[in-house]
């Protein structure tokens, strides 16, 4: 009922204001307003010459002057520290990973709470957060206030299971439907020479980032992470848990260690690093991995000539021992990136209206696609990148250079990405969509001081201990079955339950548990 009323109100506003202000309906201020902005990312920092910025300035009357700290460091954290230490915080603070900073210093007065400003002056932001209250809860501080407008990725899918379909065909095998069939396929990849060179040189399962090997835990009903950050907590029915302390972990690690010992998992999985995918695929050695839809699909094009018959296909997640098919990784719906209003800002009302502009249809298109006639043309009411623009190279980097897809607070439009995603990835996304394999994710918590103190004191050493044991067990230098009871007792002694309690209390406050 409430949503319907809001929608009606939003439509009413549009129909009244559009004719009244004809070509200036996005204008925020008659007299131009200048505000300073810090917006840092490892690849770029704010540039008032970005065509997108110039267009926004033209449409709204608000001119953001670049005042980014640390433009010569790739570390946004370092840039934030420089800015905070200077005592001269720009009017708007944005870019990479600002969430923890604004949620810690906002309640102390360094950043302006946005809730009332949105309610009174930002109809598009209000409509967005009314529609997605869980996204607002996920980025609010422990005092219940919102201190930044986040960058909100669109599209649900991140990584998928990829397997050499041409190897399956060569060996006369079907795609594995469950963990037992997966074991048989990987064993055949190891034994039966699918690359046909007469040498047993195949690496059945590999990963660019070694923690991807932990996704295999889900085949034994375990978990490796609840978010798009490795080794993170997860939530089951409102209860915070950690995948490396639950019972199914023992069975999972025991089996991963067995697969590793049998040569089904890359012996160099912990050390091979980010070139693993490029190397093992282009040398016709790798059989299966868990990696991103879009970028992995590109090998079907780039290796077409080098590896005859090369066909890397997305397969559905094989079912676990209890029959569950799980895609544990997905895109996070709210990023710790975005922008905030600092206490030095002379005009928070104009600023929130400016933030709101990027949630209008025109502003969102500008933030996602760039400038009409330059980067895209409208075709049947949709912005479509021009061939000239696509020919310039990777779309992401080209868009950063004009000020699109940069980490201001905005809602991404997945259509921008679909236009340059390979058909094999799009087919994979359809497969995962049809199977409904995604599971709920943990969007993080904002601690109060007391909880933060417990977490800071205990978690880092517990996490280090967990990962040390994990590697030793997988590599076979220790046996999880022999050590499981000791392991659990040690976690307890190190304060595992205290950390879970702090997480749970923050989680309950934030998500109304
Ligand atoms: Ca071979």
pLDDT above 50 for 21:
no
Which pLDDT score is estimated for 298? 86
Which residue has 């330059």 as its token pair?
374
Distance 203 CA to ligand 1 centre (A): 9
Which pLDDT score is estimated for 13? 41
**Structure token digits, residue 303:** 């290796």
Distance 477 CA to ligand 1 centre (A): 28
Answer whether 286's CB lies under 8 Å from 206's CB.
yes
Which ranges in 262-407 belong to alpha helices (H)? 276-282, 293-297, 299-302, 348-357, 361-369, 387-390, 395-402
pLDDT above 70 for 20:
no
Distance 260 CA to ligand 1 centre (A): 18
Cα dihedral across residues 297, 300, 306, 310: positive or negative: positive
List pLDDT tens digits, range 223-258.
999 998 999 999 999 999 999 999 999 999 999 999
Distance 236 CA to ligand 1 centre (A): 43
Could you tell me which of 117, 144, 279, 315 has the C-alpha nearest to residue 206?
Answer: 279
Say how far apart CA 213 and CA 206 lie, in whole Å: 8
Distance 201 CA to ligand 1 centre (A): 5
List pLDDT tens digits, range 453-503.
999 999 999 999 999 999 999 999 999 999 999 999 999 999 999 999 999
Average pLDDT, the chain: 93
Phi first, then psi, for residue 34 (nearest 5°) are -105, 130
* pTM assigned to the model: 0.82
List pLDDT tens digits, range 77-98.
999 999 999 989 999 999 999 9
Distance 191 CA to ligand 1 centre (A): 8
Which pLDDT score is estimated for 395? 85
Cβ burial of 281 (10 Å; 0-12, 13-18, 19+) is: buried
Neighbouring residues of the ion ligand 1, judged by CB less than 5 Å: 193, 195, 197, 199, 201
Distance 170 CA to ligand 1 centre (A): 12
Could you tell me which of 17, 52, 53, 12 has the C-alpha nearest to residue 34?
Answer: 53
List pLDDT tens digits, range 2-15.
344 444 444 444 43
Say how far apart CA 453 and CA 365 lie, in whole Å: 42
Give the lowest-confidence range in 33-42, 107-116, 244-253, 503-512. Answer: 503-512
Question: Residue 38 pairs with which residues in a beta bridge?
Answer: 93
Which pLDDT score is estimated for 416? 92
Distance 167 CA to ligand 1 centre (A): 11
Instruction: Calculate mean pLDDT across residues 102-125.
Output: 96
pLDDT above 80 for 17:
no
Say how far apart CA 11 and CA 310 lie, in whole Å: 51
Q: How far is CA 9 from CA 15, 16, 36, in A?
A: 10, 11, 33
Phi first, then psi, for residue 7 (nearest 5°) are -60, -45
Cα dihedral across residues 33, 38, 40, 45: positive or negative: positive
Distance 478 CA to ligand 1 centre (A): 31
Say how far apart CA 137 and CA 492 lie, in whole Å: 30
Distance 160 CA to ligand 1 centre (A): 25
pLDDT above 50 for 342:
yes
Distance 207 CA to ligand 1 centre (A): 19
List pLDDT tens digits, range 200-213.
999 999 999 999 99
Instruction: Calculate mean pLDDT across residues 265-277.
Output: 95
Which pLDDT score is estimated for 431? 96
Which pLDDT score is estimated for 396? 82
Distance 119 CA to ligand 1 centre (A): 64
Q: How far is CA 299 from CA 11, 168, 284, 317, in A?
A: 45, 18, 12, 20
- DSSP E strands: which ranges in 105-224? 149-150, 159-164, 203-205
Which pLDDT score is estimated for 513? 56
Distance 300 CA to ligand 1 centre (A): 20
| Cβ burial 68-96 (10 Å sphere, 16+ → b, else e) | bbbeeeeebeebbebbeeeeebbbbbbbb
Which pLDDT score is estimated for 213? 98
Share of the chain above pLDDT 70, in %: 95
**Structure token digits, residue 14:** 């549009």
Distance 305 CA to ligand 1 centre (A): 19
List pLDDT tens digits, range 276-335.
999 999 999 999 999 999 889 989 989 999 999 999 999 999 999 999 999 999 998 999
Instruction: Calculate mean pLDDT across residues 23-47.
Output: 93
């Amino acid at each position: 009922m409430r949503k319907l009323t809001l929608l009606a109100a939003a439509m009413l506003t549009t129909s009244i204001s559009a004719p009244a202000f004809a070509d200036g309906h996005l204008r925020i201020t008659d007299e131009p307003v200048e505000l300073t902005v810090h917006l840092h990312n490892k690849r770029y920092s704010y540039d008032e010459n970005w065509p997108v910025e110039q267009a926004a300035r033209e449409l709204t009357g608000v001119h953001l002057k670049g005042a980014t700290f640390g433009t010569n460091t790739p570390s946004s954290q370092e840039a934030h520290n420089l800015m905070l230490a200077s005592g001269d915080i720009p009017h708007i603070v944005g870019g990479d990973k600002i969430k923890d900073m604004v949620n810690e210093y906002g309640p102390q007065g360094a950043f302006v709470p946005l809730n009332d400003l949105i309610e009174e002056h930002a109809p598009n932001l209000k409509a967005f957060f009314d529609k997605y209250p869980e996204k607002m809860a996920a980025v609010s501080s422990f005092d219940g206030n919102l201190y930044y407008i986040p960058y909100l990725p669109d599209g649900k899918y991140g990584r998928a299971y990829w397997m050499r379909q041409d190897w399956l065909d060569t060996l006369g095998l079907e795609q594995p439907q469950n963990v037992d069939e997966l074991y048989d396929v990987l064993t055949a990849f190891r034994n039966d020479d699918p690359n046909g060179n007469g040498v047993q040189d195949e690496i059945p399962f590999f990963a660019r980032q070694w923690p991807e090997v932990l996704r295999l835990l889900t085949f034994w009903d375990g978990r490796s992470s609840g978010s798009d950050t490795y080794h993170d907590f997860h939530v089951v029915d409102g209860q915070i848990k950690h995948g490396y302390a639950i019972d199914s972990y023992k069975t999972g690690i025991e089996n991963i260690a067995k697969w590793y010992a049998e040569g089904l998992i890359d012996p160099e999985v912990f050390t091979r690093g980010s070139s693993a995918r490029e190397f093992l695929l282009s040398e016709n050695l790798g059989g299966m991995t868990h990696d991103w839809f879009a970028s992995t699909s590109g090998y079907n094009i780039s290796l077409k000539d080098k590896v005859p018959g090369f066909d890397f296909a997305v397969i559905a997640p094989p079912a676990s021992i209890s029959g569950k098919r799980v895609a544990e990784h997905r895109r996070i719906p709210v990023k710790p990136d975005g922008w905030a209003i600092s206490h030095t800002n002379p005009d928070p009302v104009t600023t929130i209206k400016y933030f709101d502009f990027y949630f209008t249809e025109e502003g969102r298109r500008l933030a996602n696609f760039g400038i009409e006639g330059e980067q895209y043309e409208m075709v049947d009411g949709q912005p479509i990148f021009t061939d000239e623009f696509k020919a310039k190279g990777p779309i992401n980097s080209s868009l950063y250079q004009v000020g699109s897809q940069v980490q201001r607070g905005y809602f991404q439009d997945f259509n921008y990405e679909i236009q340059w995603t390979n058909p094999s990835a799009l087919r994979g996304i359809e497969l995962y969509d049809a199977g409904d394999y995604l599971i709920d994710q943990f969007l993080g918590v904002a601690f109060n001081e007391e909880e933060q103190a417990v977490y800071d004191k205990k978690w880092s050493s517990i996490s280090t201990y967990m990962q040390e044991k994990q590697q030793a067990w997988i590599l076979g230098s220790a046996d999880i079955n022999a050590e499981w009871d000791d392991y659990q007792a040690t976690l307890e002694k190190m304060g595992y339950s205290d950390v879970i309690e702090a997480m749970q209390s923050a989680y309950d406050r934030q998500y109304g548990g």
